[in-house]
Structure 1
Amino acid sequence: MKIILPILFILTFTFQGFSQQVSKNFIDENYIEVTGKAEMEITPNQIYLKVIISEKDNKGKVSIDILEKQMIEKLEGINIDIDKQLTVNDMASNFKFYWTGKTDIFTAKEFQVLVSDAMTAGKVFQELESIGISNISISKLDHTEIEKYRQQVKVEAIKAAKVKAQALASAIDQEIGKALYIKERETPSYPNTTSNIIIRGSSSFKASGVQMPKVEFGKINLSYEVSACFKLN
């Protein structure tokens, strides 16, 4: 025991000294801390439309199978690739209410149609409303190269931070050196969704021979902030 204790003491002392050396960080340096910000607006090229066809809309006069067939024909007529751009999200019925005598049984089916521009989206609204399908909404806006644009915005944000640091340092006759740390922050502004927009029975869509109105969507906004510390020379 008399031999082990001094050894443990030496090891403990050495370890503590090493830890203190490792824990030394940029706070011991003269530094400047700044925040850079960058934003970018992108026109979406992936527009997700939610389409619900329901027997209830026509009081059961047309079955859901016929409505679906008519919908597919209309979509193919405006060059929608059914295999790639049309998916089934859900199918439900109110059968459970039938036994309580509250209502008749109606079936509803939910689809998702993916288009690449606002003009095509407008055509979908127009063509489907012509056959009585008006429960259409925009569920999501996206872009196929969103990750590339994200990286671009991050790079611009750190560049902005560096420019700001250089300007502030020069005001006190100093220069900035290497970056001591960089921390990024993304603001919760992406994605831009418009699920609350629902178009029902627009007379401009129903009227035959009337030019379809111009349809536009909001931009996807990417916004990043980067905090950075630079050494002051």
Structure 2
Amino acid sequence: MKKVMLLAAGLFLAMTSFAQAADNKTTEKKIEVTGSSEIEITPDEIYFQISLKEYMKGKTKVEITALEKQLQKAVIDAGIPKENLTVENVSGYNYDWMNKKKNPQEFMASKQFRLKLSKLDKINIILGAVDAEGIESTRITSYSSSKMDEYRKEAKIKALQAAKTKADYMVNAIGEKLGGILEIQEINTDNYVDVRPMAVNYMAKSADGMGGGISDVDFKTIKVRAEVRTVFSIK
């Protein structure tokens, strides 16, 4: 009987201790805050699309191969690695679809190229070295940074530091002291830009020989943002 009573007493004490521990845990003082940061960077990976098209010069067709050679030479002369110029698409259309005669000169081909640049300072020279009538369109398709992973990491660190600073001054305001970190949750980390492709105005050479080029390109910066949720204990 004594053994049973001792066992029951021990079980009661264990349950009481567990209940007290659970109660202490639920009443632990803590503070939950979010922190965010934003880094603005200049892109160094710019993808520029150039579309070339065949056209009739009098009765002679200017071939796409000739236009492509002009573009390739212009890229190399500008000091850009030739592998930075790649073909995106090839298409064609019938110059005179109403004409039933099968004349090879009536089929006009077009070719889209993607040029990778670190900045746009040489694009005027490149486009100026290509037959203006053979340039169908040009535009910036996308841009990014070669150090994007580093910037994302930096943004996360700054967001966490901002959360700690916020929690610290809020706790100090009520005469308490901030304890250690209990939880960290990454809410959002991304890079965002104006995703609309920016058309680049290319003015063909006029009859008086005056050259054209890119007109007032408003190049936007990339913003890398990070946000974290944190929970700190209060001493």
Note whether the superposition's TM-score is higher than 0.5: yes
Q: Which of 171, 183, 201 is the aligned partner of 1:169?
A: 171
Identify the range of structure 1 (208-217 vs 57-66) with the bigger mean alpha-carbon deviation. 208-217
Distance 1:74-1:132 versus aligned 2 partners, 3 A rule? same
Instruction: Identify the residue that residue 62 of structure 1 maps to in structure 2.
Output: 62
Distance 1:196-1:58 versus aligned 2 partners, 3 A rule? farther
Distance 1:191 1:65 in 2: 36
Instruction: Identify the residue that residue 33 of structure 1 maps to in structure 2.
Output: 32
Q: Secondary structure at the match of 2:149?
A: helix
Is 1:152 the counterpart of 2:154? The answer is yes
Confirm or deny: 8 A CA contact 1:55 1:108 kept in the other structure: yes
Is 1:79 the counterpart of 2:79? The answer is yes
Confirm or deny: 8 A CA contact 1:74 1:127 kept in the other structure: yes
Distance 1:39-1:141 versus aligned 2 partners, 3 A rule? same
Q: Secondary structure at the match of 2:167?
A: helix
Confirm or deny: 8 A CA contact 1:49 1:139 kept in the other structure: yes
Instruction: Identify the residue that residue 18 of structure 1 maps to in structure 2.
Output: none
Confirm or deny: 8 A CA contact 1:53 1:108 kept in the other structure: yes
Between Structure 1 and Structure 2, which shows a larger proportion of strand residues?
Answer: 2
Q: Secondary structure at the match of 1:79?
A: coil
Distance 2:158 2:145 in 1: 20
Distance 1:140 1:38 in 2: 24
Instruction: Identify the residue that residue 139 of structure 1 maps to in structure 2.
Output: 141
Distance 2:212 2:190 in 1: 40
1:74-113 mapped onto 2 (5 Å cutoff): 74-82=74-82, 84-94=83-93, 105-113=107-115
Aligned Cα RMSD in Å?
Answer: 3.5
Deviation at 1:29, TM superposition (A): 2.9
Determine which structure has more spread, i.e. the larger CA radius of gyration.
2
Question: Per-residue CA shift, 1:171-225, capped at 9, x if unaligned?
Answer: 1111121211111233655255451423232679x96478986755211111111
Distance 1:37 1:199 in 2: 38
Confirm or deny: 8 A CA contact 2:203 2:214 kept in the other structure: no
Deviation at 1:100, TM superposition (A): 10
Q: Secondary structure at the match of 1:106?
A: strand
Unaligned residue ranges in structure 2 (runs of 5+): 1-21, 101-105
Q: Which amino acid aligns with 2:165?
A: V
Confirm or deny: 8 A CA contact 2:43 2:144 kept in the other structure: yes
Distance 2:129 2:30 in 1: 62
Between Structure 1 and Structure 2, which shows a larger proportion of helix residues?
Answer: 1
Identity %: 27
Q: How many residues align?
A: 206
Instruction: Identify the residue that residue 228 of structure 2 maps to in structure 1.
Output: 226
Confirm or deny: 8 A CA contact 1:37 1:226 kept in the other structure: yes
Confirm or deny: 8 A CA contact 1:37 1:157 kept in the other structure: yes
Distance 1:177-1:122 versus aligned 2 partners, 3 A rule? farther
TM-score (norm 2): 0.73
Confirm or deny: 8 A CA contact 1:125 1:134 kept in the other structure: no
Confirm or deny: 8 A CA contact 2:55 2:133 kept in the other structure: no
TM-score (norm 1): 0.73
Question: Per-residue CA shift, 1:33-91, capped at 9, x if unaligned?
Answer: 11111111111111110111122597983111111111112222211211x21111111
